[in-house]
Each structure stands twice: as C-alpha cells, then as structure tokens.
Amino acid sequence: MSSRIAIGHRHITFTEQGGESDPVVLIHSSGLGSRQWRRIAESLAPKHRLILPDLVGYGESSVVAVGEHFHFVIDQLAMEGLVDHTGEPVHLVGHSYGGLLALLTALHRPALVRSVTVYEPVAFGILRSERDEEAVATLPQSTSWPSTPDDIERWLEGFIAYWNGAGAWHALPEPMRATFRATAPKVIGEVLTLGEDRTPLEAYASLAMPVLLLGSETSTLAADHVLAGLERTIPNARRVRIAGAGHMGPITHAARVTEEIAAFLASA
C-alpha cells in the first residue's frame, strides 16, 4: 500500500518495505520511477526500512501533462517533506536526478540525514560555480520545450544518447522506450530546469555526514567533474568507481552497486 505527501496541488506517493528502523530513502533517476531499485531493494530490505518514492510524474504520483513546464524544485520540496514525515534521521540514496535531490535534501535537512549515497548526481550547478567551461560546454544546450510527438521523440533520442552513446535510444527494448515516452513531459522538465540550479560547490562543504560518491569508469566529463568536486569538498566523502559500469550502473551492475551501498550503510 502506498502513502502520499502533498506539495501544493501536486503529490508524490511512496511505499515502504523491509524492517522497522534504520530508514533508507531510495530516490530514482529520470524516466524510470521507483521500480528501478527492485534488485537493490531486495538485497537491502532484510536489514533496513526502505522508503521508495515515485517522484511527480511517475507511478501513482501526480501526472505532468504535455506542454506543462515542470520545475525540479517541486520534487526537491517533496523529498524534504518526505524526510520530515519519516520521523527519524534517514540514509539517502539517489541516482542521477535522484542524486541531485538527495544532495540538496541533505543540505536543507542536515539534522535528519544520517548519510548520503549518490551515483553520478546531476549537480551541474557545481560546474557553473567553478566556471568549469570545459565541462559546461559538454552539457545539452537545448532550452526549448518540445511539444509534438516527433519533437519529443527526437528529444528523448538525444537525452539517452548523451548518457549512453549514439544509437542508445534505438538499442533500448521497445517497452523501455514506451516508458520514457509516457514520462517524457516530466523528464523534459527535470532536464531543462536543471540548468537553473546554482548551488555552488562550496555549499557542499557544510555536509558533515558520511557521503559515498559512486560513478562509472566511463562517466561523461560533466559527471566526472561533479564527482571530483564533491570528493575534494565534502569533509567525509569517499569516491568509488564501479568497474565496467556506465551511467545506468545501479540497474546494469546492481549487484556491485548494492555491495558498495550495503557496506557503506553498515559503516555509517
């Protein structure tokens, strides 16, 4: 059974599984929903109370319509509301877009966050604050909101190619492409408003809790520079590269990623 958190006229839903204590919030990436954590959750549930939110636009949470200009701050407020609702300090785990939300939640609710684990968070405000022109130049530069089916299809193709290489969109199984099409209005809003994030690198120096920084051996230049900046700035951070993985490592290399998360949670 799912529960609900309201954010203005919208809401998110979340489910819980596992134990009754040591809560871990698993925040999914763009386009996939909480089901992306299925394999990792199966391994963590015996020792942890797992909280799996579906962000706005996914699962049973509020729908984002075609042409609606969604802003990522709404999801950020939802995650802060979820942490407040939980009633005890939590461990945050986030992938990509979910990684950015986990980091910002830790900044805004430090007393309620025991640890943070992120896999290639899209905290691109770091690059702009550091005037990392080389990395910023590699980011998708489109600021227009596609609205027709053909425009949305082309946008999705470019989005998937950025993270996974040319031709990656057509290499996806049709059911997964259908999932991305169904969530496209929300994914577009997430990606396009990320350019408005201006959280400077120095802000992350205030994170006192343990932080695990996960990434692939084939990170994009931007993802690599974000992780490098966080590693040198957060006092209690450790970076691990997952051998053979790409940006979708929590799915394609779930066993290895789970191993790192489980060991980190035990130590934290």
- Blockwise average pLDDT, block size 10, the chain, 268 residues: 91 93 94 94 95 97 92 97 95 98 98 98 96 93 83 93 91 90 94 92 98 93 97 98 94 96 95
Domain with 19 in it: 3-137+198-267
Instruction: Please indicate, yes or no, if residue 143 is contained in any of the structural domains.
Output: no
- C-alpha distances (whole Å) from 7 to each of 16, 124, 189, 217 are 20, 25, 17, 37
pTM: 0.95
Instruction: Please indicate, yes or no, if residue 254 is contained in any of the structural domains.
Output: yes
Report the pLDDT value the prediction gives residue 144, as an integer from 0 to 100. 82
Report the pLDDT value the prediction gives residue 235, as an integer from 0 to 100. 97
Q: How many domains does the chain have?
A: 1
Instruction: Please indicate, yes or no, if residue 98 is contained in any of the structural domains.
Output: yes
Instruction: Please indicate, yes or no, if residue 159 is contained in any of the structural domains.
Output: no
Residue with tokens 């997964």: 176
The residue length of the chain stands at 268
Instruction: Please indicate, yes or no, if residue 52 is contained in any of the structural domains.
Output: yes
Phi, psi of 49 (to 5 degrees): -85, 110
Hey, what long-range contacts does 252-257 have (CB within 8 A, 24 or more apart)?
254/39, 254/40, 255/39, 257/40, 257/119, 257/214
